[in-house]
Amino acid sequence: MSFKDEVQQTAKRGANALRASLGIPADGPPDLGVILGTGWGDLLALEEEKNLPLTRLPGFEHIDALEGHKRLVCYGRVSDKRVIALRGRVHLNERPCHEPTVLAVRLQAQMLVELGVRTF
Q: Is the pTM of this model over 0.75?
A: yes
pLDDT band at 26 (very low <50, low <70, confident <90, very high): confident
| Of residues 57, 58, 51, 43, the one with CA closest to residue 73 | 51
Per-residue pLDDT reduced to its tens digit, 33-60: 998 876 776 788 999 999 999 889 988 7
